[in-house]
């Protein structure tokens, strides 16, 4: 594969997956319960 | 009445990613990249992600979570009398899901037919003549295509079973339908890379042609690709975020959703282009002759490649169509959920009943697309839904937030509860860059529209297609008027 294609591969990986990993790392305890309100996930049927 | 809530943040983010990641990630992005400078396309693509994708996502997540309302009431709270745009978004999305479900129906048919690789040797005729039984023009409706009709019934029953019990099951299903296609894409990629010619495909995908970056059309294509692939301007993201508490993160959730969506697109390109590289090798045709996008890629070109594979044809077919199916169903039920959210903000109806009537209505609406002229109508209406519907909605949203609600006020509001703080760049983007970009996209669209009739279809058919989308907004105006009266009175 030509060098220019390798460079774009690295660019895509760093920017897109690096960005994603950075943002996920900034989350405070991912998956924790939401702060307030009905968190049962059940609908409030009327 | 208190609002329904997601189980946790992960459920919300996964559901939003599931909504954003759809069939376009597989069949549109790789072709766009190939056609617009290969690897060089990643530069305008990433730029578009930063200046339009993420900011519009922040606007939609912010409106939903801070206003604690579906699209119409969220916009109504920003500026009185604008709720009809929210209704317009969900009604247009309803029209969209009616035909999107038909594409999923085709996936069901191909999934079952994969077991015997029934299309081998006559791929084009198999799809157009045997499955679609396509007629000669949009006016020759000519009865239903039974396989597509059965596929449509299976699709709507599946969507109903996922959504009728509320957000709990939706969150659980999203976990599967987001992760599963990524695993399946990895399997496709691993199988693809072991085939001869696959590296050539990857080179075509990645090798940059930087001269293309001087072409304005490439940048507009990148903006369009980002915009249409993130489920923006459909009301879904506002609806989904209305089920997270007001004090939830907005900015980081938007960043994660957008990066995940684009990451899947980038990865899907490798899976698709390794197989296309093999097809070029196996048929002896130049790469430019085998590469395609959209329906042609999924239902003609890929089946051709599958039929030519030396081993595991049936297994590969099942994996490929299962990938499309899981990507499609995720986006489809999110569109239905957006419509139901808006409906239940106004009408006192249980989730089960609302789900039943909405699914039944969409199935009936979609019957036209199961006819022998269905593909023509699907193509025509899709053209107007994207260009007239979604772009208009997002344009109005950004103008409302930027110029009426106050972008500084909005930025402070979302920053208060978010892990990533937005700087003043956000003000410039929302007030100027997003409206200018979307208006440019619209001008390009109208210019091309009046140059020649779209797809060579008869003018009367195009007028019906455009009229249908415009009438969604007209209906929205009257529905909103009644809804506001009902809620306030």
Nearest one of B339, B361, B362 to B351, comparing CA atoms: B339
A32 CB neighbours in chain B (<8 A) are: 8-9
Interchain pair B7, A2: CB under 8 A = no
Predicted pLDDT at B211 = 94
How far apart are alpha carbons B191 and B187 in whole angstroms?
6
Interchain pair A41, B6: CB under 8 A = yes
pLDDT digits 0-9 by tens, B16-65: 999 999 999 998 899 889 989 999 999 999 999 999 999 999 999 999 99
A9 CB neighbours in chain B (<8 A) are: 39, 206
How far apart are alpha carbons B405 and B55 in whole angstroms?
16
A24 CB neighbours in chain B (<8 A) are: 256
Question: Pick from B7, B263, B350: which is nearest to A16 by CB?
Answer: B263
> Is A33 a residue whose pLDDT tops 80?
no
Nearest CA in chain B to A29: B9
Interchain pair B4, A44: CB under 8 A = yes
Nearest CA in chain B to A27: B419
pLDDT digits 0-9 by tens, B273-313: 999 999 999 999 999 989 888 899 999 999 999 999 888 89
Cα-based distances in Å from B421 to A42, B201, B252, B351, B430: 32, 40, 9, 36, 15
> Is B205 a residue whose pLDDT tops 50?
yes
How far apart are alpha carbons B328 and B22 in whole angstroms?
5
Interchain pair B252, A1: CB under 8 A = no
Least Cα separation, residue B459 to chain A (angstroms): 42
Is B67 in contact with B242 (CB distance < 8 Å)?
Answer: yes
pLDDT digits 0-9 by tens, B2-18: 778 998 999 999 999 99
pLDDT digits 0-9 by tens, B121-160: 899 999 999 999 999 999 998 899 999 999 999 999 999 9
Nearest CA in chain A to B198: A1
The model's pTM is: 0.91
Q: Residue B251's pLDDT band (boundaries 50, 70, 90)?
A: very high
How far apart are alpha carbons B75 and B431 in whole angstroms?
17
User: Residues of A near B (CB-CB distance < 8 A)?
Assistant: 1-2, 4-9, 11-12, 15-17, 19-20, 23-24, 26-28, 30-46
Least Cα separation, residue A25 to chain B (angstroms): 10
Interchain pair B39, A8: CB under 8 A = yes
Name the average pLDDT for chain B: 92
B174 CB neighbours in chain A (<8 A) are: none
Question: Pick from B166, B202, B252: which is nearest to A42 by CB?
Answer: B166
Interchain pair B255, A17: CB under 8 A = no
How far apart are alpha carbons A40 and B161 in whole angstroms?
19
B7 CB neighbours in chain A (<8 A) are: 39-41
How far apart are alpha carbons B290 and B380 in whole angstroms?
25
Do the interacting molecules here have an ipTM over 0.85?
yes
Interchain pair B5, A35: CB under 8 A = no
Interchain pair B5, A37: CB under 8 A = yes
> Is A45 a residue whose pLDDT tops 50?
no
The dihedral over CA atoms of B210, B188, B14, B259, expressed in degrees to the nearest 10, equals -10
How many Cβ contacts (< 8 angstroms) between chains A and B?
128
Question: Pick from B9, B255, B419: which is nearest to A34 by CB?
Answer: B9
Predicted pLDDT at B260 = 97
Question: Pick from B167, B255, B259: which is nearest to A41 by CB?
Answer: B167
Least Cα separation, residue A23 to chain B (angstroms): 6
Q: Residue B262's pLDDT band (boundaries 50, 70, 90)?
A: very high
């Amino acid at each position: 594969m030509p060098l220019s294609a390798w460079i774009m591969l690295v660019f895509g990986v760093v920017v897109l997956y690096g960005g994603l990993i950075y943002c996920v790392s900034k989350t405070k305890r991912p998956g924790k319960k939401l702060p307030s309100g009905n968190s049962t996930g059940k609908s409030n049927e009327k | 009445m208190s609002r329904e809530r997601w189980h946790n943040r992960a459920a919300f983010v996964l559901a939003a990613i599931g909504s954003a990641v759809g069939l376009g990630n597989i069949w549109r992005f790789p072709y766009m990249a190939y056609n617009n400078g290969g690897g060089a396309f990643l530069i305008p693509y990433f730029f578009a992600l930063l200046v339009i994708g993420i900011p519009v996502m922040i606007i939609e997540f912010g409106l939903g979570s801070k206003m604690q309302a579906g699209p119409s009431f969220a916009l109504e709270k920003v500026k009185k009398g604008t709720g009809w745009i929210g209704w317009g978004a969900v009604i247009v999305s309803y029209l969209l899901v009616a035909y999107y479900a038909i594409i999923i129906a085709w996936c069901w048919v191909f999934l079952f037919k994969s077991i015997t690789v029934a299309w081998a040797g006559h791929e084009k005729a198999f799809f157009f003549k045997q499955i679609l039984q396509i007629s000669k023009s949009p006016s020759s409706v000519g009865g239903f295509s039974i396989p597509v009709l059965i596929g449509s019934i299976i699709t709507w029953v599946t969507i109903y079973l996922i959504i009728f019990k509320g957000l709990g099951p939706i969150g659980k299903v999203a976990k599967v339908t987001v992760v599963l296609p990524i695993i399946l894409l990895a399997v496709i990629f691993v199988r693809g890379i072991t085939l001869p010619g696959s590296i050539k495909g990857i080179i075509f995908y990645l090798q940059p042609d930087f001269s293309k970056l001087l072409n304005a059309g490439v940048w507009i294509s990148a903006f369009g690709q980002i915009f249409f692939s993130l489920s923006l301007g459909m009301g879904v993201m506002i609806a989904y975020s209305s089920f997270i508490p007001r004090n939830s993160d907005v900015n980081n959730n938007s960043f994660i959703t957008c990066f995940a969506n684009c990451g899947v697109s980038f990865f899907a390109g490798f899976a698709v282009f390794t197989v296309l590289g093999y097809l070029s090798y196996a048929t002896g045709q130049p790469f430019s002759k085998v590469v395609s996008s959209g329906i042609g890629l999924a239902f003609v070109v890929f089946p051709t490649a599958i039929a030519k594979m030396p081993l595991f044809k049936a297994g590969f077919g099942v994996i490929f169509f299962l990938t499309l199916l899981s990507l499609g169903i995720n986006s489809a039920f999110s569109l239905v959920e957006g419509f139901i959210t808006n409906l239940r903000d106004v009408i006192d109806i249980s989730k089960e009943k609302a789900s039943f009537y909405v699914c039944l209505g969409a199935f009936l609406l979609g019957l036209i697309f199961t006819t022998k002229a269905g593909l023509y109508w699907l193509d025509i209406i899709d053209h107007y839904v994207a260009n007239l519907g979604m772009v208009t909605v997002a344009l109005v949203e950004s103008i409302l937030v930027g110029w009426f609600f106050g972008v500084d006020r909005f930025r402070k509001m979302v920053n208060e509860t978010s892990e990533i703080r937005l700087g003043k760049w956000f003000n410039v983007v929302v007030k100027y860059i997003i409206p200018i970009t979307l208006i440019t996209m619209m001008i390009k669209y109208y210019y091309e529209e009046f140059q020649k009739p779209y797809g060579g279809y008869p003018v009367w058919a195009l007028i019906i297609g455009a009229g249908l989308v415009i009438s969604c907004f007209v209906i929205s105006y009257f529905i909103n008027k009644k809804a506001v009266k009902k809620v306030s009175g």
